[in-house]
Chains A and B, each alone.
Chain A
């Protein structure tokens, strides 16, 4: 097929005068927009699946097993579980959004485009991790709504949020941190399996052992001590405190550790972008 019949057109004519290039913010916002649109295009996988996931947890742990578990201050196990599930969904999805975006772009060769374009490393990191955060927040919100429905069904009452500002803080810092972690892992990954192994061997154990499903008081002293070295423990309890008004750790300690985690993971991401590979698989 011929390219076009209209060879008379001069290359520059239609767009003259040439649109000026705004290189400070436009590249960044374009990448952010791409990241958000990417997961919205496959909302069934990225939003509906996590919703079903949390629904199942609530059904199995919250309703059936939960009636046998006692929390010392008298909160129902279901109320105890909901904040943990919200944070788990947020962290998990922030991580998988940025990691699968990067890995997918590596697979298609698109990641090289970012490197050739006038996008700085900082911009790439923030655009991709904010994309992950948005998905994490959406999943957190959906989990909250599903949780409220379960709670109403069981106890005939809703859970009210004690400290909304803190809640937004912990979700935002946690989501950003995990999106950055996902980005770092994806930059180093040499294959899809490589990335999956990271999730299975490191991420999942940290999340499951981070106090989503149980309180410290249920553990033996050995596990209590070990759990305090798990950074996720602070993210999860920060959210629990924000919603219930009480948790296993001092909220300001959780606050500080969360911020340190964010800085650390941002550093990881920067290091990964400089040292990891943009090359296609």
Chain B
């Protein structure tokens, strides 16, 4: 059964159309990345799934069940880490997790809570009140909260914002571990290397429209090109090849940009350089970031 199916979702805030007729599906056991610049509509989509915001129109299905304010069964299998940190007044981390387990229908959940606290490096902070925690600790507590009931679908809205480098890498591992144990994951992030590393598939959203969706690798292949640098022994031969973008006489190197469909052999055959003259060939594959920038057209748009 499809973990998440969003159909023709529209979300308006007054006159502002934050989500414009978005449809997509997430497959079982995958990590799906929702990418887009600030204000693109990612959080609006997530809030619609969790029923925090009411969609203007369209429908959302979780494992075949329609998501609605009062549909408990659908909500009970969903876990969410919101983008914004949450405070809990007078309660300690452990108490917060116990109450949260209760809201999801689990009366005694001590063992799993202990496991999560250990896993997320929060065990020694379990008696701290939330306001006594650092930003990164609060974010990890949010992750623990989202996992108390072992959700089948996990929504992570910028889970690594404000988390230090070392911890971020461990979080990635944790997310992969969750996926491997059967949790389906949707995440948003502004770190494209993170998305490239983690996500099986990504969807790119801009100004509320879903402009591209597909397997991460395929997207990169389709939208980026490879850069091939060739280092020669002797002085550079004259070359008019259309893919040549730079030559450096001092380094005796030439830089070519070729599409992902063109083979290296093809390029070399066209160039007809003598084999014994070539010292080195370096190939740089395209990155998700390049694909992203290309999709959004203009880099300036990233901040608009």
A15, A29, A107: the one within 8 Å of B109 (CB): A15
- Interfacial residues of chain B within 44-102, with CB under 8 A of chain A in the complex: 50-52, 69-70, 72-73, 75-76, 78, 80, 82, 84-91, 95, 99-102
Given A9-B115, A14-B111, A108-B88, check contact A117 B181 (CB 8 Å).
no
Q: Within 8 Å of chain B (Cβ to Cβ): is A280?
A: yes
B103 contact from A3, A4, A18, A119, Cβ within 8 A? A119
Scan A23-50; emit 1 where CB is below 8 A from any B CB, else 0: 1001101110110011001100000000
Contact B103–A30 (Cβ < 8 Å): yes
Bound Cα distance A7, B174 (Å): 8
CB distance B73 to A113 under 8 Å? Answer: no
Nearest CB of chain B from residue A31's CB, rounded to whole Å: 7
Q: Is there contact, CB below 8 Å, between A19 and B170? A: no
CB A179 to nearest CB in B, in angstroms, measures 18
Say if the beta carbon of B237 comes within 8 Å of chain A.
no
Residues from 94 to 136 in B contacting A, C-beta threshold 8 Å: 95, 99-109, 111-112, 114-115, 118-121, 130
| CB–CB A11/B105 < 8 A | no
A109 near B103 with CB under 8 A, answer: no
Chain B residue, CB-CB nearest to A279:
B52
Taken together as a complex, chains A and B put the C-alpha atoms of A26 and B121 apart, in Å, by: 28
CB-contact partner of B75 in A31, A34, A116, under 8 A? A116
Structural contact, B104 and A278, CB atoms closer than 8 A:
no
Contact of A15 among B89, B111, B173 (CB under 8 A): B111
What CA separation (Å) do A109 and B47 show in the bound complex?
13
The residue that B118 contacts in the complex, of A6, A12, A42, with Cβ under 8 A, is A6
**Least Cβ–Cβ distance between B95 and chain A, in angstroms:** 8
A160 interface residue (CB < 8 Å to B): no
Find chain B residues with CB under 8 A from A278 CB: 52
Selected from B107, B115, B130, B182, the residue in CB contact (under 8 A) with A26 is: B107
- Bound complex: CA of A249 vs CA of B120, how far in Å? 62
Evaluate whether A2 and B167 lie within 8 angstroms (CB atoms) in the complex, with A109-B82, A117-B75 already known: yes
Is the pair B80, A116 in contact by a Cβ cutoff of 8 Å?
yes
Are A2 and B166 interface neighbours, CB within 8 A? yes
Report the tally of A-B residue pairs with Cβ distances under 8 A.
Answer: 147
Asked if A154 is at the interface (CB within 8 A of a chain B CB), the reply is no
Report the separation of the CA atoms of residues A140 and B17 in the bound assembly, to the nearest whole angstrom. 51
Closest chain B residue to A39, Cβ basis:
B90
- Contact status B108-A19, CB under 8 Å: yes
* B177 CB, min distance to chain A CBs, angstroms: 6
In angstroms, Cα B120 to Cα A157, docked, is: 62
With A11-B181, A21-B104 in contact, is A4–B82 under 8 Å at CB?
no
B102 close to A110 (CB less than 8 A): no
A110 touches B88 (CB 8 A): yes
Q: Smallest CB-CB separation from A108: which chain B residue?
A: B87
Q: How far does the Cβ of B208 sit from chain A's closest Cβ, in whole Å? A: 19
B72 touching A11, Cβ below 8 Å = no
Query: B90 contacts A38, CB within 8 Å?
Result: yes
Question: B121 and A2: CB pair below 8 A?
Answer: yes
The interface residues of chain B lying within 8 Å CB-to-CB of A23 are 72-73, 76, 105
Task: List the A side residues contacting B28 at CB < 8 Å.
Answer: none
Q: Are B105 and A118 in contact (CB under 8 A)?
A: yes
Among B82, B149, B166, the residue within 8 A (CB) of A21 is B149
Q: Is B104 a contact of A109 with CB atoms below 8 Å?
A: no
B120 with A117: CB separation less than 8 A: no
Do B108 and A7 have beta carbons less than 8 Å apart?
no
Tell whether, in the assembled complex, residue B171 and residue A22 are in contact, meaning their CB atoms are under 8 Å apart.
no
Contact B52 A112 (CB under 8 A): yes
Chain A nearest Cβ from B134, distance in angstroms? 11
A230 within 8 A of B: no
Instruction: Flag if A280 contacts B181 (CB, 8 Å).
Output: no
Q: Which 3 A-B pairs have the closest CB atoms?
A: A30-B102, A108-B87, A21-B105
Q: A9-B115, A116-B78, A280-B84 are in contact. List 18 more A-B contacts (CB 8 A).
A: A1-B167, A3-B174, A14-B111, A15-B111, A19-B108, A21-B76, A29-B102, A30-B101, A30-B103, A33-B99, A109-B82, A110-B88, A112-B52, A112-B82, A113-B103, A117-B103, A118-B72, A118-B76
